């Protein structure tokens, strides 16, 4: 029966069980409302019996204040880089590029057992052709290395062909001869530019020889020459001891001027880290009479890309 005073179920006695008012004018409760109230009461009773009453729920540490104290407040959640807008943009902040699905944003997964026959074949080609097959060797190495490089969840691909490189190689060689070897330094820059202009994501590649304008190298000859001169002085005055630090300095410059699909790279490796890897690789290569060289190259590539990160983004392609 419905209490005319509070409108709740009054019960079967003379007074309302909810408010205590006398039930002098009792109104029958509609059947559908009675069933709903009955079900709600049973669910509430069952819910509390299982230990999920509001007080117990908060005592278990799930109150709003405690929930925020555990680091899940909205502000802290956004500080960790998971704000809704940032998440939809796909790692829009530089430091958010450093992990993607639990993996580093840039890494290398090539293995020495796969590269060893490629290394042997390249050496044989260079020996038989007296170095003429150098463009083919470069393309084969680049194709293998790019195919084992992952950037922001996407595997890279190399689209350059030996025929394309051969024409440039002849031109660069002639210029080097004419300038008495001076142009050889420019060749390093030109190869890097050509390499990046033929680099793309594997899922974007649909044919040979394609150029991708959002993958490029924009280092300047004069700037890189300055980097090389500083590195040379470091190695000379240290009697070669500073070689790892000098090479890391050049690597850092090259990566800061490398853009992959609108994402500018960065490098934070150290000379000490490079020196440690070089010592291990050198010792293992000596012990195995050179056999470990293929594994050593893969190890150095893994170290190199493990210390490479995405420092800024323009046309970012994510992998959600």
pLDDT at site 76: 43
Q: What residue has token string 């090389």?
A: 228
Domain membership of residue 63 (yes or no) is: no
| Paired sense of beta strands 154-158 and 99-100, if any | unpaired
- 64 pLDDT more than 60: no
CA distance 169 to 175: 10
Question: Phi/psi zone of residue 216: left (φ > 0), alpha (ψ -120 to 50 degrees), beta?
Answer: beta
For Cα atoms 5, 12, 50, give the angle at the middle one, nearest 5 degrees: 90
Domain membership of residue 60 (yes or no) is: no
Same domain, 302 and 179: yes
Domain membership of residue 74 (yes or no) is: no
Same domain, 300 and 158: yes
Cα separations in angstroms, 57 against 42, 52, 71, 164: 19, 5, 18, 69
Same domain, 17 and 110: no
Domain membership of residue 151 (yes or no) is: yes
3 lies in which domain range? 1-31
* Residue 86: strand, helix, or coil: helix
pLDDT tens digits, 199-230: 988 887 766 555 556 889 999 888 988 988 89
Same domain, 187 and 300: yes
Same domain, 259 and 153: yes
Split into its structural domains, the chain has a count of: 2
Average pLDDT across the chain, whole number? 77
Report, in angstroms and rounded to the nearest whole number, the Rg of the chain calculated over CA atoms: 34
pLDDT at site 214: 80
Domain membership of residue 251 (yes or no) is: yes
Domain membership of residue 98 (yes or no) is: no
pLDDT at site 228: 87
10 Å Cβ neighbour count for 148? 19
CA distance 29 to 108: 72
Same domain, 24 and 159: no
- Contact assessment for residue 151 and residue 199, using Cβ atoms and an 8 Å cutoff: no
According to DSSP, residue 131 is labeled T
Mean pLDDT of 254-264: 92
CA 83 to centroid of chain Cα atoms = 18
- Angle formed by the axes of helices 293-306 and 271-287, to 10°? 170
pLDDT tens digits, 95-107: 344 444 444 589 9
Q: What residue has token string 């890494």?
A: 107
How is the chain split among helix, strand and coil, in percent rounded to 5? 60, 10, 30
Residues in the chain: 320
Token digits of residue 229: 């001169």
Report for 3-12, 42-51, 154-163: range of highest mean pLDDT: 154-163
- Angle formed by the axes of helices 271-287 and 243-256, to 10°? 120
Determine which helix (DSSP H) or strand (DSSP E) holds 234, and give its type and residue range. Answer: helix 221-237
pTM score of the predicted model: 0.64
pLDDT at site 57: 38
Same domain, 136 and 229: yes
pLDDT tens digits, 158-196: 998 998 899 888 999 899 999 988 898 889 899 999 999
* Residue 243: strand, helix, or coil: helix
Same domain, 227 and 123: yes
Domain membership of residue 37 (yes or no) is: no
Domain membership of residue 38 (yes or no) is: no
Same domain, 134 and 1: no
Same domain, 140 and 274: yes
pLDDT tens digits, 300-311: 999 999 999 998
- 134 pLDDT more than 80: yes
pLDDT at site 142: 95
């Amino acid at each position: 029966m419905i209490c005319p005073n509070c409108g709740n179920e009054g019960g079967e006695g003379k007074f309302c069980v909810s408010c205590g008012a006398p039930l002098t004018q009792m109104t029958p409760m509609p059947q559908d409302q009675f069933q709903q109230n009955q079900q709600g009461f049973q669910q509430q009773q069952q819910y509390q019996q299982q230990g999920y009453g509001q007080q117990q729920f908060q005592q278990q540490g799930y109150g709003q204040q405690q929930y925020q104290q555990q680091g899940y407040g909205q502000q802290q959640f956004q500080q960790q880089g998971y704000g809704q807008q940032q998440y939809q943009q796909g790692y829009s902040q530089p430091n958010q590029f450093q992990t993607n699905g639990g993996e580093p944003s840039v890494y290398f997964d090539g293995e020495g057992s796969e590269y060893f026959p490629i290394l042997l074949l390249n050496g044989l080609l260079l020996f038989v052709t007296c170095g003429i097959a150098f463009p083919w060797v470069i393309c084969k190495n680049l194709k293998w290395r790019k195919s084992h490089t992952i950037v922001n969840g996407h595997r890279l691909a190399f689209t350059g062909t030996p025929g394309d490189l051969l024409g440039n190689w002849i031109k660069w060689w002639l210029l080097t001869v004419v300038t008495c070897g001076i142009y050889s330094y420019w060749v390093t820059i030109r190869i890097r530019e050509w390499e990046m202009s033929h680099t793309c994501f594997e899922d974007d590649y649909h044919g040979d020889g394609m150029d991708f304008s959002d993958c490029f190298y924009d280092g300047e000859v004069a700037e890189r020459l300055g980097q090389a001169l500083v590195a040379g002085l470091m190695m000379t005055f240290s009697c070669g001891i500073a070689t790892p630090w000098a090479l890391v300095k050049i690597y850092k410059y090259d990566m800061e001027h490398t853009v992959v699909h609108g994402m500018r790279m960065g490098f934070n490796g150290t000379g000490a880290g490079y020196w440690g890897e070089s010592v291990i690789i050198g010792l293992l290569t000596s012990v195995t009479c050179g056999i470990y060289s293929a594994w050593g190259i893969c190890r150095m590539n893994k170290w190199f890309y493990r210390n490479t990160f995405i420092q800024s983004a323009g046309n970012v392609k994510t992998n959600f």
